[in-house]
Structures are given as C-alpha cells and as structure tokens.
Amino acid sequence: MSKHAKYGGSTAERTMNCNAWHSLSAGMPKSPTSYVAALGTALHTVIERCLLDTEFDPYDAVGEKFTIEGHRIIMDETLITEKIYPALDEFDNLMDKYSVDRIWVEQWVEVSEDVAGTADFIGLSGDGKTIVFADYKSGDGHIVQAEENSQALFYAMCAQHKAFKLHMLGVEKIVVAIVQPSFRREEYLDIWETTPERLRQFTLQHEISVEFAEEAKIGPEVGSWCSYCPAEATCPAKKKEVAKIDLIPFNTTLPTELSDALEIADKVESWIKAVRKTAQELLEQGVDIEGFKLVKKRATRQWADVPAAEKKVRLAKKVKIAEAYDMKLKSPAQLEKVCLGLGMDWDKFSKGLIESVSSGTTMVSVHDKREAVVISSASKLLAERFAQ
C-alpha cells in the first residue's frame, strides 16, 4: 500500500538504526510479494474507499477480486467482518475522541524527493490544534505499538514540509494511532499522544542519521529493525553476533551465563530464519547453492472437486451429514466481531459466558511491559539450590 521513497515510512527506522541498509541491500535478490502482503493491500484498498465515502457499505465489496503481484484475492464476508468493520469502528472512535473534522487518506507527504512516504490516515481537529497520524495494520504478524512509533513520527516530520505544512502550523498535540484488528490484541486501537517538541527531537535525530548514512560514517547495527532488512542474511553486524557464541562458556548453566546466551540467541534465531529465507528465494529463482536443492513438500490428500464430493456425501445413505462435517463454536474474539458487525450488544450477549485463562508462561525481555509471574516459595527454593 505504501509508496515509500528512499527514506520513507518504516524505512526511516532502518535509516536511523542500520545506516548501511541501502548498500547492503543493493545486491540482494528481490523477495516476491507474499500472499499476506497482497491481502493487506486489498484490505487497505477497501478501508480507503470506506473512509473517503461514508455512504459506501463494506459488504458491497464482498466478491470483489484483486490481482496483486500474482496473488488473487477475493474479498469475502469473513474479511469484512473480522478486518474491515472493526477497523472502521476504531477509526470512528479515533475521530470522535479528537473531534476530527477533516481527514486525508493515503496522503503523500515529503521533505524532499528522497525523504517521503504515504500516510494511511491523517486527521485534523476542528480547532486545528490536534493532528492524528494513524496506521492501519491488517495482518496478525508483528503487533505494532503506537508509543514512539518511528513510522508515524516520520510521516509527521514529512507533513511539516511543502504543501501539507500549512495544516501543521497551529498544532499543539500530535496523536499517533495504530489500528490493528488482531486476535492477538486486547484492544484494536492503540493511541499515543505527544508534542511538537518531541517531533522536533525526532526530526533532528533523523537528519543526523541520514547524514551518517550518506557519508557512511558508521556501519550497520543490530536491532529489531533487522526483520525488515532484505540483507539480514549477509549483514556483517549479524555475523558478529553469531561469532559471539564462541565467547559463551561450554557449560552454560549459571543464570548469568544463560542471560548472555539468551541475548545472543534472540539475534541469531532471526539471522538463521533470514538465511533460510534468502536461500529458498535464490533457489526458486534458479540460482545454484552448493549442497542444497528444492524438493516438493510432503503431499497431503485433498478434494479435487469439493462440490462433487459434497454431493456424494449427501447421497450416501450410510454417511451422516454430522459425520462428514466439522463444526466448532468460534472463539469469543471471533464471535465478538460477528456480533458487532451485526450491530448487536456484545457485552449483553456475552455476559457471564467468558473467562480469561492463560495457557501458561512464556519468557520475554525484562523490558516487556507485562507484569512478571509470581513464583511460588517452593520454586524459589529450588532456584536458590540451583544457583549454589
């Protein structure tokens, strides 16, 4: 959906944190667009149409066909119910909260020809004092946070220049919003409020980073932005992280040593995935990689003609319909979207029927915002003995 230029959109974060990104990526093969990315483009197209035309009914898009870089997407009721309607509801909530009376959708903003990007949504309050930069995330991949979101701050920085700058003159509050309908989020709308002063700091940081990048004063750095870089598999900074494995003692059992190992493991795991992904893409493009080849995945049986199979089931006297089909109640999150799409009162419908149950524990960085699990006394005793 976005038409990022040289330092546009999410590329801004790469520029600030991995300043050799462009030179490293130049020799890498172009990755094919995934089905998920193509689906996101189709969903963005429908969202854009709905935001620009309030009379347009999203269900009118059911059956619409999109062909995006070889992928054929057909808009169905499930996508409308689970991805479009929830997003539109959150955009409405966002506009109500900040008294937005003027919007721009798919707005191109630029500092220069090389520093530019397309913002999903920009909204300006009636008094001109609050401006909203919202990004629609259609997939269930990375869960994106609004706070200190570099992509949105980049759009805000670009909006201060050229044709759009007049709309920024009276702004006293900058709002960053992420709209991401996902079963992995409790709230589909994440909001962060900041100030023009924070934007000035971001702008200065960006200008310094671009200067470093253009003059090649420093090399690449490893960070969360690496997952967006096509050169991750061959990046020298990543290779240095892999080399650090040799510095870990052979018998890594003490918690302090495990902490060091875990820090390296996170970075090495993403590098391993990138290596496999790049190799797969090269093999699919006909490039020979010594010692490896492409083979077909394990074949699984499937119906060659589903309507014919269903007809045979209906005519078979010994096969009951209930035995031929699987039917399972949707999860609370899935059914909530259905009910909201039908205009039903979900709180009233689900009262007394839902409980939140964790499936267990998972290990994350100490910087994660979630509260740590309280460990039992018996477990702590075992831990103390382990540490001795």
pLDDT of residue 377: 63
pLDDT tens profile 249-274: 666 556 667 777 787 787 788 888 88
SS3 74: strand
pLDDT of residue 163: 86
pLDDT tens profile 59-78: 999 999 999 888 899 999 99
Q: Given a cut of 60, is residue 21 above it in pLDDT?
A: no
pLDDT of residue 183: 82
Q: Given a cut of 90, is residue 1 above it in pLDDT?
A: no
pLDDT of residue 328: 82
Q: Is the pTM higher than 0.85?
A: no
Pull the structure tokens for residue 372: 């740590």
Average pLDDT estimate for 359-386: 68
pLDDT of residue 121: 97
Give the integer Cα–Cα distance in Å for 25 and 223: 16
Q: Which residue has the higher pLDDT, 353 or 141?
A: 353
Q: Which residue has the higher pLDDT, 62 or 220?
A: 62
Q: Are strands 173-179 and 189-194 parallel, antiparallel or unpaired?
A: antiparallel
pLDDT of residue 385: 53
pLDDT tens profile 88-125: 999 999 999 999 999 999 999 999 887 899 999 999 99
Average pLDDT, whole number, for the chain? 82
- Residue 310: C-alpha distances to residues 38, 323, 327, 328 (Å): 31, 12, 15, 19
Per-residue pLDDT band for 233 (boundaries 50, 70, 90) equals confident
**Residue among 197, 310, 229 nearest 14 (CA):** 229
H/E stretch holding 123 reads: strand 116-125
Give the torsion through C-alpha atoms of 239, 241, 243, 244, to 10 deg. 170
